[in-house]
Amino acid sequence: MAPFRSIYQQDSARQLAVGAALLILAAFYSLVFLLTLAPVYGSAPSHIFHGYGVAIAGAAGWFAKDHIHRLSGRRAVYLVPVLASWLPILQYLMSQQSASLGNPAGPVITELFALYPLVLLSVACAGKLIQSGLDLNRHGDLVAEHVPLLGSYIVYSAGEHLLKAFLSKFIGSTALLSRAGLQILIAIFYAAAVPSKLLLLAIPSLLFSLTSNVHLTFGYTTRALNSAISQEGFALVDRQDSTTGYISVLDNLEDGFRVMRCDHSLLGGQWIKARPNYTPPTVKDPIYAVFAMLEAIRLVETAHGEPRTDADSKALVIGLGIGTTPGALISHGIDTTIVEIDPVVHKFAGQYFGLPSNHTAVIEDARTFVQRTEVQGSIQYDYIVHDVFTGGAEPVELFTHEFISGLNALLKDDGVIAINYAGDLTLYPAALAVRTIKSIFPTCRLYREEATSEVGPDFTNMVIFCTKSLVRPISFRDAVPSDFLGSRFRSRYLVPQHEIDAQRFAAVEQGGRSVLYAKEVNRLHKYQDRGALEHWNIMRTVLPDGVWEAW
């Protein structure tokens, strides 16, 4: 008997099981495909049209299942594992054209030729198997024919939630549980669900993936990756998939700097090249001035004009990056607590960027930490640094009235908070963030990283220094040599220079909100998407296309 007929001649339970497996695996692949797009196009841009495309492909597959069934003579289901095995190669080859495709066209085109056909075929075959397993083919009415539709959607959604929970705990723990490894693993599960002789067609794709796909984190593929990006003047130091994205450390071999990457963003970087007649500072110089600016939190005078003593101070840092700012605070003798959601970011900051070990590390969501600490009421801080940015977009949940109010509760009456906002200052979210912060902290001063034009797109870092004082404006004491930690870079950039008039953000936009509350964060997604696309273009000028594409 021909193997392509075997599933349809087995019992109903087998048909239902295979149908459910195809739906769950399609949901799995949908999420994993997004993860593999993120290092090339960014997390936010990859999501813009993904949900719509998957929904359309799934609906098309369901309603076209009978036509596909008749045209293929029941062979279509055996092509699904073969297609799944070839997807990594299709995506790998198309990712090399990301500069030409652009963003957001690149993710859409890549999914159109790779993911959507798999979703369509998986849903079509699953629908036919479920229909056959429930013996609904003999019913002529429309209701009976589409009874499994709702159930199929529930199974698909359950598969998505199941994988999200699994990845939150295990992604990056082994090579096969990396984002590229998961593509191979899911293809294997497809093959186990629908075995046939046609799987011989998948062998070339599997061999290519295991030997030539530099996105896999095997030792020999990593060496191949280093060989590829060395032509761009870069070397990979380390990499690992983690909860917030694909994390890697890269060295620029020509200019002599090291960066930490998260998907299509840089979390920070520092200069590592030894130069003649140069004495390395206590904390290495960052490549971005904003990280030195954040250290100016120590220079803000108290409400009574009294000097602050580092040894008696406590600091809370929300968001680690490579650890430049907390490293400086620790070096000044300040008792520092770092809250970082990503364990790999914290690990790499210590291993490759010199983050001192004498600090308190809290690896969890900042909202959870702040809520718990506020309820306990056991500690307050002299300094709070809020510096969170990843994926090309600010996590707006950490700029809500509720979260900033929580930080206010953790700040001493004479304390200082410094909040770094990275984004387009001409867009609505920037003004909303400033108004939200100023609704809680009565006294603030705003500074931008560089003095650039405020006309048109204006993507930059803005640091907002605030205190609880109602009467005394913020002022910075004069910096002394010890503040610079032996760094000429800090002597130039430590003291904020480019002040922004806060009134620029005071006007409430038509139809907008004056303050951001947690229940309203979904309103900002379209602005985040636009900012993320601007950020993608900026990042492509910072590192070569080949480095982003090779991961």
Residue in this structure with the two tokens 């994926």, named with its chain if needed:
391
Range of the domain at 381: 306-523
Are the CB atoms for 413 and 378 separated by under 8 Å?
no
Tokens representing residue 306 in the block: 């009294």
How long a stretch of residues is the chain? 551
DSSP state of 233: T
Q: What is the CATH number of the domain that holds 436?
A: 3.40.50.150
Q: Is residue 209 located within the same domain as residue 311?
A: no
Asked if the structure places residue 300 within a domain, the reply is no
Dihedral in degrees, nearest 10, Cα atoms 307, 313, 316, 321: 80
What local confidence, expressed as pLDDT, does residue 379 receive? 94
Of 175, 196, 213, the position where a domain reaches its end is: 213
d(CA 405, CA 348): 31
Residue 423 has φ and ψ, to the nearest 5°, of: 175, -175
Q: Which of 181, 213, 245 is the last residue of a domain?
A: 213
Torsion of CA 103, 108, 114, 119, to 10 degrees: 150
The C-alpha atoms of residue 409 and residue 518 are separated, in whole angstroms, by 17
pLDDT at res. 485: 95
Across 230-380, the runs of DSSP E, i.e. the strands, are: 234-242, 245-252, 257-262, 265-271, 314-318, 335-339, 360-362
On whether the CB atoms of residues 353 and 260 are closer than 8 A, the answer is yes
Assess whether 336 and 469 both reside in one domain: yes
Mean pLDDT by 10 residues, the chain (551 residues): 56 88 93 96 94 94 88 86 95 94 97 96 91 66 56 78 88 93 95 94 92 91 94 96 95 95 95 80 93 96 82 96 97 98 97 96 97 94 93 84 98 96 91 96 95 72 94 92 95 96 92 91 87 93 95 86
Indicate the residue among 182, 213, 244 that finishes a domain. 213
The answer to the question of residue 254 being in a domain is no
Q: Report helix, strand or coil for 317.
A: strand
208 with 335, same domain: the answer is no
CA–CA separation, 259 and 274 (whole Å)? 16
Q: Is residue 17 part of a domain?
A: yes
CA distance 485 to 510: 47
How many domains in the chain?
2
The sign of the torsion formed by the CA atoms of 462, 467, 470, 471 equals: negative
Q: Residue 259 falls within a domain, yes or no?
A: no
For residue 501 the two structure tokens come to: 């008039």
Q: Alpha-carbon distance 409 to 65, whole Å?
A: 58
User: Tokens representing 530?
Assistant: 């636009």
Give me the pLDDT at residue 9, please: 65
Instruction: Identify whether 270 is part of a domain.
Output: no
Give Dmax over CA atoms of the chain in angstroms.
90
CB neighbours of residue 523 within 10 Å: 16
Within a domain: residue 236?
Answer: no
The answer to the question of residue 100 being in a domain is: yes
Q: Is 109 part of a structural domain of the chain?
A: yes
Record the pTM: 0.92
pLDDT at residue 1, rounded to an integer: 38
Question: What CATH number should be reported for the domain holding residue 160?
Answer: 1.20.1250
